[in-house]
Structure 1
């Protein structure tokens, strides 16, 4: 049986990086708590998010991206 992990809090920006093969595209690393829909245990999820045209990821973009990443 597989369980779905659901975003359970607000994402937090923790780092930025550039992937050499995709330069100049770079990413910010965001992390947030997720809760298992089956057992209710909490875990931490980390998602790299491509930086917007203006040079950063907005918190609402991070939240939407991480919510769509529920697995």
Structure 2
């Protein structure tokens, strides 16, 4: 089935807000990013929020990082 519409997808297929409960913005090694908690100190990168191309060479969405409290 093909649906032709000018309406945003969120209006037609509502998003479950539980998917966003574990996401947070953080800065890791000077790189601002949106991460998803996968347990303990482990996070999975969802989005890099930067205009610096070097940040995209270091990190990529889907990559897991460990954050230790200082």
Q: Same fold (TM over 0.5)?
A: no
Give the alignment's TM-score, normalised by structure 2.
0.26
Of structures 1 and 2, the one with the larger relative CO (CA 8 A, separation 6+) is 1
Q: Which has the larger radius of gyration?
A: 2
Give the alignment's TM-score, normalised by structure 1.
0.26
